[in-house]
Amino acid sequence: MLDEQYHYLLNDFVNGMGWGSMLTLPDKFYPMVVRHFYCNLTWTNGRHGIELHSYFLGNCLKITRPLLARWLGVDLCANMTYFVRGREFLKFAAPTNPLFHTKIIAAICHTRDTPSGIKKGDLHPRLLILHLWICSNILPKKGHMDEVSPFEVYLLFCFVKGIKLDLPTIILKEIVRIKEADGSKALGFGALLTRVFENTHILLEEELDKACGGPLNHFTITQRKVLERINTRAAQVDVNPDDVNEVVDELMDDVGGNVNAPRRASSSSMTPQMFVDYHREIMKGIQALQTLGNAHTTQLRGIATT
């Protein structure tokens, strides 16, 4: 689990996807209960897609997409994309958009131009911690954290571009994949299953619990100097403030001075932190513009109905 003081590194990505509640999962899990859950796990195709069934501790547990969405506090999404193998990724959207994979790589990588064999070190600096969080909570791994799987590549792209995916579908299919692996994959989703057990009133008082660990923790952030690595690699990116100023000017023209827009960049060079702060100010202005536009739309609809 990631300490709350570092949530700011993920908030924009995770909340933008509508998965903010995944940052506040329980900080403990029950190893033996999780083991029994997987041992007795079966699944069927139901009305809403895949359904999980397990019997343990005298309880018969059924997990469907709508139930899991309610327990996790996320919305269902019509986009239920999920795949595992690289060849599925290579076929994905290629018939209609031959440049689709090139766009994906350009959005998430800074050293590669092909979708195969991507490593963690190829990712843009701002995606390093997001990738570790995905490997801990969405697509749990037993190891090989440096490797970026085909679906991890696509999921990172969706985070960057704001393409919403159906979280319950991903989790349910990952749980099935863990079961089918027959021990070669870690029994993941311990904290998530604790949330499920709590919502289904399964008695856990007499069960031994264990603190959640994983590849994304305080040690990862501090002792392994992840933040320093991000800043060092971000410093290698040449940022032209004139390009950012064009966005600011367009924003000011659109809002007619009704929004407190960010200050223009006046220096010919910007530090990574300055650029991050500047980008945040721009996003605040854009959000204010969207709010203003929604208000005008509401007023126009009111006039049209009178």
**What pLDDT is recorded for position 116?**
64
Q: How far is it, in rounded angstroms, from Cα 293 to Cα 285?
A: 12
**What pLDDT is recorded for position 19?**
95
Q: What is the pLDDT of residues 10-30, one digit of tens each?
A: 888 999 999 999 989 998 999
**What pLDDT is recorded for position 107?**
86
Check residues 85 and 41 and name the one with the higher pLDDT.
41
Mean pLDDT score of the chain, rounded to an integer?
77
With a pLDDT cut of 70, the percent of the chain lying above it is 60
**What pLDDT is recorded for position 186?**
79
**What pLDDT is recorded for position 142?**
75
Task: Report the greatest alpha carbon distance in the chain.
Answer: 67
**What pLDDT is recorded for position 267?**
43
Q: What is the phi/psi pair of residue 141, to 5°? A: -120, 155
242 CB burial (10 A radius; 0-12, 13-18, 19+)? exposed
Q: What is the pLDDT of residues 173-219, one digit of tens each?
A: 999 999 998 777 778 999 999 999 999 989 888 899 998 875 565 55
Which residue, 6, 290, 254, is CA-closest to 128? Answer: 6
Residue 238 pLDDT greater than 80, yes or no: no
Band of pLDDT at residue 39, cut at 50, 70 and 90: very high
**What pLDDT is recorded for position 94?**
57
Q: Could you tell me the two tokens for 285?
A: 């202005």
**What pLDDT is recorded for position 33?**
93
Which ranges of 237-271 would DSSP assign to H, the alpha helix? 241-255
Residue type for position 272: P
Residue 225 pLDDT greater than 60, yes or no: no
**What pLDDT is recorded for position 274?**
60
Q: What is the pLDDT of residues 116-170, one digit of tens each?
A: 678 888 888 788 889 988 988 999 987 777 888 889 988 999 999 999 999 999 9
**What pLDDT is recorded for position 299?**
65
> Is the model's pTM score more than 0.75?
no
Band of pLDDT at residue 247, cut at 50, 70 and 90: very low
Q: What is the pLDDT of residues 56-81, one digit of tens each?
A: 888 899 999 999 999 999 999 999 99
12 by DSSP, 3-state: which? helix
